[in-house]
């Protein structure tokens, strides 16, 4: 006999659900999407059980639909994530995130000698795809693993 299915996180009426986030990455996504100042409900599920991933994180953002650019920024920290747009408690659109070719302005270069840390210049990072994506700064040309990125311009 299979155990009854249990809903660990409540449903939302309208908004976005980001599912299949690697465990431990939801907080980084909250930062890059600027959700700490968001005035509506954001439900965060950390280390939830997952058949496919073992453990996963989950975000439910009421009253906000992510656009394609925001979803692709999520891909930096959760390349297996899926984005579900919810309207009237039903999924109206579902898509997998896709790594962008480059990201502008929200990553702060970890290289303290980089000109972007001393001048008013918008940062630009090129994405190097792979099993663990890395980024290359356009200005100092240094390559960084995503784990090395500690600051974001929000």
pLDDT at 30: 92
Residue 93's beta-bridge partner residues?
85
Selected from 3.30.70.140, 3.10.580.10, 3.30.43.10, 3.40.50.970, the CATH number assigned to the domain covering 15-96 reads 3.30.70.140
DSSP per position, 13-71? SSEEEEEEEETT-HHHHHHHTTGGG-SS-EEEEEEEEETTTEEEEEEEEET----HHHH
Smallest Cα–Cα separation from 74: which of 38, 139, 27, 42?
27
Class of domain 102-148: mainly beta
CB of 26 within 8 A of CB of 59? yes
Q: Each residue of 59-94: pLDDT tens digit?
A: 999 999 998 888 888 888 888 899 999 999 999 999
Task: Outline which parts of the chain fall under CATH 2.30.30.20.
Answer: 102-148
pLDDT at 147: 80
Question: Rounded CA gap, 105 and 73, in Å?
Answer: 11
CA atoms within 13 A on the CB side of 63: 6
Q: Each residue of 104-150: pLDDT tens digit?
A: 887 899 999 999 999 999 999 999 987 778 999 999 999 999 888 87
Please report where in the chains the tokens 């908004």 appear, as a residue. Answer: 15
Task: Outline which parts of the chain fall under CATH 3.30.70.140.
Answer: 15-96
In this structure, what are the phi and psi dihedrals at residue 93, rounded to the nearest 5 degrees? -150, 140
């Amino acid at each position: 006999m299979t155990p009854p299915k249990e809903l660990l996180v409540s449903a939302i009426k309208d908004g976005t659900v980001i599912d299949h986030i690697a465990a431990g990455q939801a907080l980084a996504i909250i930062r890059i999407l600027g959700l700490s100042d968001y005035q509506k409900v954001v439900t965060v599920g950390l280390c939830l059980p997952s058949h496919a991933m073992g453990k996963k994180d989950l975000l439910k953002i009421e009253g906000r639909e992510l656009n394609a650019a925001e979803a692709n920024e999520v891909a930096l920290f959760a390349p297996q994530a899926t984005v579900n747009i919810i309207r009237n408690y039903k999924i109206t659109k579902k898509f997998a995130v896709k790594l962008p070719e480059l990201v502008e302005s929200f990553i702060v270069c970890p290289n303290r000698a980089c000109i972007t840390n001393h001048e008013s210049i918008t940062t630009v990072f090129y994405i190097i795809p792979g099993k663990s994506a890395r980024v290359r700064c356009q200005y100092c040309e240094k390559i960084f693993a995503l784990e090395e990125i500690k600051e974001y311009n929000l």
